[in-house]
Structure 1
Amino acid sequence: MVVETVKSTRSARVQVLLYRGKSFVTGLRWHPLGSVTGHMKEARQYGREHHLDIVAIRRTPAIIQAGFVARSDDVTKGMYSLAATLAGQLGDSWIAAWRTDSDLDQYALVAVYQGGVISGCDMIGTGAEVRRRVAQQRSRGISFTHEYLPSEFEMGGHPLDVEELLQPSNLKREYRLRPLVFGLSKTELVQLSILAGLITVGVLGWAQWENHQAQIAKEAAFQAEQRRLEELARLQKESGVEQPPQALEHPWAKRPSVDDFLEQCSRVIYQLPLSIAGWEFSDALCDGTQVVSSYRRSGNSTADNLIKATLGHFPGGPVFDESKSLALLKFDISLPAAGDEPLKAADDMLANLSSWLHNFSQQPTLKEVPVEVPVQPAVPGQPAPPPPPPPQWKQFELRYATGITPLDALTGAPAQGLRLREIKTKYETGHLLWTVTGDLYAK
């Protein structure tokens, strides 16, 4: 088998396998279609929204699914979807990986669960990448009926005879990619009408409770996978760097960087006046989503005075306590996620951060706190998933109080694995006193 990597400005995930003159495309974006009679309309809508114009449609009794790709990925109609070709022969529950070239550390991976190709499991990668993806699916509690894995993975299963499966006599028209813009042919419309009638009759008789629960479980599994991919895409967009799937399991990847936190919080806090229409500044707190400042009434100042003075400066205006002598002013901020990053040994990271702060005459406390890995909820109708594996990192809570601004004290600090939780300042005897709270993640 010959492997050709598609040169594309759009997506590096799309690749093509050439076998006996036939082209098999990997890296499709798989998406479930909800409508039986209008699934092509739904597919075209999805393609327009995501700038994808070529599709492979899979229909099984349990699911209708579309795999999308773009012409800009050097993919054309008539090529075959590798995942669809194998799924049409291997059934509804399996995972397969095999080496594409004996001279390269390059493996193909395809996985199907409950009739649908699993998003992110139609790919080509190195042996290490594919092993991690197989382990990831197992960790999610998925139990495949069949596992076809190479012996060098040492993960069980049996080798896949991909040459037998991809020979021309096994290829069907339904495995081919086709353009979205042309919609359905007359023959396809007739076939779809017949299929819709048969499915309608079948659905009327398929009202047993267990089957209904199974359908709910399938939908929940696909929705969960879709949310996971959307979250990973958000992290990549905000951080500006391609993120590995493991980033979703790392809490520091989803939180803003120290520099962004310091810059945005300080920018708002430094602009807060010490007095507004006779109301005196008391304190302010920034938690990365908003800055909340409090002002106390003095002299003969009134709530009306503060409302007029802050109009147009603080969305929503001031919020007063019952006595109308204390007011809160809120200002929303938005910080991008920093993305994933490697961690160093805890002893080194603790020493580096504490030494930096000691240079500023600070006395930080760095206390280890238990790491709680969230347990995935059970899918309706399915057994509870196994408990998550223990985390491979430690978490330390950072706290210190100072008269030096955090922007001065922490700019240039060793921030690898460091994420700030909140910055608080309080005005006392003519000075601002600062309290900084954060988390340090380390191995």
Structure 2
Amino acid sequence: MLISLMALSPQRKLHSGLSGQIKLAIYGLLSLALTKPSIQHFIQRCDQTLQQIPLSLGGWIPTQIDCFHDKAEILFARLEGSAVGASDFKSGVEKHFSVTPAFNVKQPDAAVFFVPIKPVPEGDDPLLPLSHQLDKLITLLQRHNVTFTLTDVPPPEKKTDEPGFEHPLPHWREMNFSYDSRVTPRLIFKNEAMRGMRITAIAFVINQDSADIKYNVQGVIYGKP
């Protein structure tokens, strides 16, 4: 039986409001790591998506692929001097991926489209000390001579709602990392479990003159203060 909120007594309204706030607070405490794939699964799904992308599509060529946990953003460019137009590329994308590319009127020789990726949530990881996590990541990247950047994520401020409900603060810290390398992430992370860490994005930047690929990797580390 449906019950209108307007029909609730003030006490029940208060209880209902607090229940909703508690649910939101608990949801806010859930680490994003719960809903994101592990580093290995992220790389695996990204590699599977890359294998679907042809070296040429409607006469256009891929120049950059950005992988996220649930989708890939794919940038194609028209070769200089090519007689192939935008409509040919559009038809090729729609036939191959069943999506329609977006064109930029200021850059008519480039277009982008998105391909969905089905994520595999890893679930909860043991919460290790952040110092331990940093040592593990830094050592791994240094072994591959990778220059990286670490950025501390400021902890959230205390938040109090009416009628005086105080949202609990998370019991972990986060730190973002990023790096550029010509070594594929699959090789760097192939033998490491990397629990309590997630990759959030990988950009594959393709040099068409040399067929070289540069990888820009972004991620986050979770750990106890």
| TM-score class normalised by the smaller sequence | 0.7 to 0.9
CA contact (8 A) 2:58 2:93 kept: no
> 1:305 maps to which residue?
88
Number of the residue aligned with 1:440: 221
Paired AA for residue 90 in structure 2? I
User: Helix, strand or coil: the match of 1:311?
Assistant: helix
Q: What residue is the counterpart of 1:254 in the other structure?
A: 35
Q: SS in structure 2 opposite 1:317?
A: coil
C-alpha deviation, 1:305, in angstroms: 0.7
Distance change >3 Å, CA 374–CA 405, structure 1 → 2: farther
SS state of the match for residue 179, structure 2? strand
- Rounded to whole Å, the distance in 1 between the matches of 2:35 and 2:158 is 15
Match of 2:163 in 1: 383
Is 1:336 matched up with 2:116?
no
Q: One-letter code of the match for 1:392?
A: H
Give the corresponding residue for 2:150.
366
Tell me the amino acid that sits aligned with residue 190 of structure 2: T
Q: What is the correspondence of 1:272-351 to structure 2 with a 5 Å cutoff?
A: 272-298=53-79, 299-322=82-105, 323-351=107-135
| Runs of at least 4 residues off by over 6 Å | none
Amino acid at match of 2:143: N
Please tell me the residue identity of whatever aligns with 1:406.
P
How much does 1:224 deviate? 6.0
- 3-state SS of the aligned residue for 2:115? strand
- Structure 2 runs not aligned, ≥5 long: none
Q: Which amino acid aligns with 1:306?
A: F
Mark the CA change 1:413 to 1:371 in structure 2 (over 3 Å): closer, same or farther: farther
Report Cα offsets for 1:292-320 as digits up to 9, x if no partner: 11111221211111122122432422111
The TM-score normalised by the length of structure 2 is 0.82
Contact (CA 8 Å) 2:65, 2:74: kept in 1 or not?
yes
C-alpha distance in structure 2 between counterparts of 1:246 and 1:369, whole Å: 19
Offset, 1:439: 0.3
Verify: 1:407 aligned to 2:186, yes or no. Answer: yes
Question: What does residue range 186-225 of structure 1 map to in structure 2 within 5 Å?
Answer: 214-222=11-19
Once residues 274 and 280 of structure 1 are traced to their aligned partners in structure 2, the CA distance between those partners, rounded to angstroms, is 6
Give the secondary structure class of the aligned counterpart of 2:165: coil
CA, structure 1 residues 333+246, in 2 after alignment: closer, same or farther (shift >3 Å)? closer
**Bigger Rg, structure 1 or 2:** 1
Structure-2 separation of matches of 1:318 and 1:328: 5
Q: Distance in 1 between matches of 2:185 and 2:47?
A: 8
Q: Give, in whole Å, the separation in 2 of the partners of 1:373 and 1:270.
A: 44
Distance in 1, Cα, partners of 2:203 & 2:211 = 16
- CA contact 1:401–1:435 (8 Å) conserved in 2: yes
> What's the offset of the Cα at 1:403?
0.8
Match in the other structure for 2:52: 271
CA contact (8 A) 2:203 2:217 kept: yes
Q: 1:373: Cα distance to partner? A: 6.4
Letter in 2 for 1:34: L
Q: CA deviation at 1:221?
A: 4.3
Counterpart position of 1:69: none
Alpha-carbon distance between aligned partners in 2 of 1:254 and 1:383, rounded to the nearest angstrom: 31
Deviation for aligned residue 1:250: 2.6
Counterparts in 2 of 1:312 and 1:216: CA distance versus 1, 3 Å: farther
Structure with greater contact order relative to length (CA < 8 Å, sep ≥ 6): 2
Aligned to 2:212: 431
| TM-score, structure 1 as length reference | 0.44
Report if aligned partners of 1:399, 1:437 keep a CA contact under 8 Å in 2.
yes
Residues 283 and 213 (structure 1), Cα distance of their counterparts in 2 relative to 1, 3 Å cut: farther
The 1:223–1:393 alpha-carbon spacing in structure 2 relative to 1, beyond 3 Å, is closer
How far apart in 2 are the matches of 1:411 and 1:321? 38
Cα pair 2:93 2:99 within 8 Å, conserved: no
SS in 1 for 2:43: helix
Q: Report if the CA contact (8 A) 1:350-1:366 is conserved.
A: no
Q: Look up the equivalent residue of 2:166 and give its one-letter code.
A: P
**Compared CA separation, residues 217 and 316, structure 1 to 2 (3 A):** farther
Percent of aligned pairs with the same residue? Answer: 21
Residues 291 and 330, structure 1, Cα contact 8 Å, conserved in 2: yes
Give the counterpart letter for 2:121 in structure 1: A
**In structure 2, what is the Cα distance between the partners aligned to 1:374 and 1:436?**
32
For residues 30-45 of structure 1, what are the structure 2 equivalents within 5 Å? 34=2
Amino acid at match of 1:308: S
- The structure-2 alpha-carbon separation of the partners of 1:373 and 1:272, relative to structure 1 and needing over 3 Å to count, comes to farther
Q: 1:324 & 1:289 partners in 2: Cα distance?
A: 27
